[in-house]
Amino acid sequence: MARSTRKQEILQAALACFTELGVEGTTIEMIRDRSGASIGSLYHHFGNREGIIAALYLEGIGEYAALLEAGLVCTLEAEACVKLFVTCYVDWVVANPDWARFVLHNRGRVEAGECGDRLREANRAHGQRIGAVLKRHREAGAFRRMPGDCFVSVVIGPVHDMARNWLAGRSGTPLAECRELLAEIAWDSVRAG
């Protein structure tokens, strides 16, 4: 979380509480105490605890999306684009492990909640921007033929699984050490011929 505004301070406090006590074990009063914010400030910025959860989730996926999209703007080759999906994912997870754990475990909750439409819209817009970048590579024949949603799963699936295991402490290999290998595997899985 880059900026340090009152809203960001509340989100940082919420993430710390969720990490220590779990989402279900955290009350809005705990977040208020941790952040030093007034209850009015919490409700002004987020409406309720579910609003805090959704804001934290949306900001996390937004930060990763911005990192990826910024890199894609500068990347011209198909191979570099595919590898960037993986390396940005690894870099964000390694830099933000608590936030990444939170995002991994709370998607369904946010999707089903009052901010579900905002999440779906953010994902749709991000998908369109990414799709526009990848379209020219697909049309140039750089990728093997497969449905778009399958493409994303093939590219992100292995790194996502490794990240989940690393975040859960089930992997003895640091995620950062697998960064280039997973990027190479992603490229080998989708490149044409």
User: With the CA atoms of 67, 185, 108 and 130 taken in that order, what torsion angle do they form, in degrees rounded to the nearest 10?
Assistant: 40
pLDDT score at 187: 98
Q: What is the pLDDT along the chain (193 residues), one digit of tens a residue?
A: 444 588 999 999 999 999 999 999 999 999 999 999 998 999 899 999 999 999 999 999 999 888 888 888 766 799 999 999 999 999 999 999 999 999 999 999 999 999 899 999 999 998 898 888 889 899 999 999 999 889 999 999 999 999 999 999 999 999 999 999 999 999 999 999 8
pLDDT score at 98: 95
Specify the amino acid at residue 82.
Answer: V
Spatial separation of the C-alpha atoms in residues 76 and 102, rounded to whole Å: 33
Spatial separation of the C-alpha atoms in residues 121 and 65, rounded to whole Å: 13
Spatial separation of the C-alpha atoms in residues 82 and 72, rounded to whole Å: 9
pLDDT score at 3: 47
pLDDT score at 136: 87
Residue ranges of domains in the chain, CATH in brackets:
1-47 (1.10.10.60), 55-190 (1.10.357.10)
Burial environment of residue 19 by CB neighbours within 10 A (0 to 12, 13 to 18, 19 or more):
middle
